[in-house]
Amino acid sequence: MNGRTARRPAGGDSTAAPGVLAAFESPQFRWVWLSVLAANSGRFCVVLVAGYEAYRIGHSATWSGSIMMVTLLPIIVVAPIAGGLADRRNRAMVMGCGMGTATAACLLLTLVTLAGATSLPLLIALVLVVGVGLAVQLPAWQAVLPGLLGPRRLLNGSMLAQIAQQGAQLTGPAIGTAVLVFAGTAAAFGLCTAFYLVGALAALRVRRAVPAPQGTHRGLFTPVLHGFAYLARHPTLRLLILFVALHCALTMAFNGILPELAQQHLGGGGSVYGLLLTSVGLGAVGGPLLLVVFGRRLRDVHVLFVSGLLSGALLAALGIATSLPVASVLAFGTGASQAVFMAVFLALSQTLTAEPMRGRVSSAQVVLTAGSMSLLSMGWGMLAGPWGPALTMLLPGLAFAAVVVGFLPYAARFDVRPATPAVELPPA
């Protein structure tokens, strides 16, 4: 095997490095990308519409914060099982099943709203079902990328997939806000249904997504334990996931506070709330897009720490903004820095994980990150009442900036991206 065809570490410098859109050369990846964009647009549209409806009915940020919590809370229980299935079954089919579950829940939300039977318990229960679908979907889509792209295009594909996932914060709230304002809540829930349906159908178009068998499995929960055992033997990956879990808990659980920020500080209601979410989404598209174009000129570890520091600082500034233009710019910067941080994390974590373990490790990562984010989203929403939105966003933003400084001594460990994993693989 000559130097031109030999396998290189992912992300290494090479004259044969893939182009900016190299992953889109794969038709299967294009279907995955569309599926991720559509389903996550549905997810963020649900957060927008159900969050505003919960705030309207309950007159408290506690209820809007609970919407974010219940969309993510099922991840703690369901995602580990789904990750094990993703390492043994067709990963695209697992994705499609999760999105189909969310489609059914959104359809019921539409019908209930049309019938005028909306109540807080029913709203939260149906959003919980959407969360179950999300918990099934997440580990599978993260695990499906390496088998479709191979090592040479993996980092590029991870960045582009992150653009779809984070960019859904733009498409979902932007279109959802317009439908909510001009057509009402029922039509907005109908839009959520359409988003998820497109995602499910696109996932079912992916054919090359069946992992190679890795041995026999012993029960439903054995693969779950394998995922956490793998992390226990991989200290760099474990530390990286702790870093991102703190990021999600402190800087990405603020959606439940935005309705109160829009009303108390910016003098607006649903349209201002939707504008803030849309600004976050615009940043979530722009940040990873710049990283795709210019990322190879920068060290990933430098981007990780700089974007993490900005993520905390800009969130703190957003909390004390009293002007809508300023708040919109800060929301854009917050979305951009958070999306870049998550894009670099996804690329590093995928590179550090063996392909047969990606579903289980992804599920363990999702449990730790989204689980903490779901619990704290309601907690921050509850604190927004007595503390006000300013203090509730200022404190966690500054806290994560301090976390970034505390992790600086470990930066060199995150700068190592081996071509193969350094730990033994358990059976699937």
The 8-class DSSP code of residue 424 comes to P
Q: Position of tokens 């994980």?
A: 353
How confident is the model at residue 221, as a pLDDT? 64
How many domains does the chain contain in total? 1
Token pair of 207 as six digits = 């054919």
The CATH number assigned to the domain holding 81 equals 1.20.1250.20
d(CA 111, CA 105): 10
Q: With 70 as the cut, is the pLDDT of residue 427 above it?
A: no
d(CA 226, CA 357): 8
Cβ atoms of 67 and 50 closer than 8 Å: yes
Cβ atoms of 312 and 393 closer than 8 Å: no
d(CA 111, CA 98): 21
pLDDT tens figures, 111-133: 999 888 888 888 889 999 999 99
- Which parts of 10-90 fold into alpha helices (H)? 27-58, 61-72, 75-86
| Residue at 373 is within a domain | yes
| Arithmetic mean of pLDDT, 271-300 | 78
Token pair of 41 as six digits = 């647009």
d(CA 291, CA 300): 10
DSSP 251-278: HS--GGGHHHHHHHTS---HHHHHHHHH
User: What percent of the chain clears pLDDT 70, i.e. is strictly above it?
Assistant: 82
| Residue at 420 is within a domain | no
pLDDT tens figures, 12-36: 444 445 567 778 888 888 999 999 9
| Residue at 421 is within a domain | no
CB-count burial class (<10 Å; 0-12, 13-18, 19+) for 420: exposed
CB-count burial class (<10 Å; 0-12, 13-18, 19+) for 76: middle
Residue of higher predicted confidence among 401 and 270? 401
Cβ atoms of 251 and 312 closer than 8 Å: yes
CA torsion angle 97 103 108 109 (round to 10): 130
| Residue at 425 is within a domain | no
d(CA 255, CA 67): 9
For residue 355, the enclosing domain spans: 25-209+219-414
- Tell me the pTM: 0.72
Question: Which is it for the CA torsion 104, 106, 110, 112, positive or negative?
Answer: positive
How confident is the model at residue 37, as a pLDDT? 92
Q: With 50 as the cut, is the pLDDT of residue 274 above it?
A: yes
Which pLDDT band holds residue 192 (cuts at 50, 70, 90)?
very high
In terms of C-beta distances under 8 Å and separation of at least 24 residues, what long-range contacts does 159-162 make, across chains too? 159/288, 159/291, 159/292, 159/295, 159/343, 159/347, 160/21, 160/23, 160/24, 160/29, 160/33, 160/292, 161/23, 161/32, 161/33, 161/36, 161/346, 162/288, 162/339, 162/342, 162/343, 162/346
Going by C-alpha positions, the residue among 25, 10, 24, 49 that lies closest to residue 277 is 49
User: One-letter amino acid identity for 151?
Assistant: P
d(CA 367, CA 137): 13
Q: With 70 as the cut, is the pLDDT of residue 348 above it?
A: yes
Question: Which is it for the CA torsion 224, 225, 228, 229, positive or negative?
Answer: negative
Q: With 50 as the cut, is the pLDDT of residue 63 above it?
A: yes
| Residue at 104 is within a domain | yes
| Residue at 352 is within a domain | yes
Helix 61-72 vs helix 358-387: crossing angle, to nearest 10: 170
How confident is the model at residue 14, as a pLDDT? 43
| Residue at 184 is within a domain | yes
Rg (CA), the chain: 20
Number of Cβ atoms within 10 Å of the Cβ of 223:
25
Going by C-alpha positions, the residue among 379, 394, 406, 413 that lies closest to residue 313 is 394
| Residue at 14 is within a domain | no
Cβ atoms of 264 and 393 closer than 8 Å: no
Q: Position of tokens 């979410």?
A: 277
Cβ atoms of 350 and 225 closer than 8 Å: no
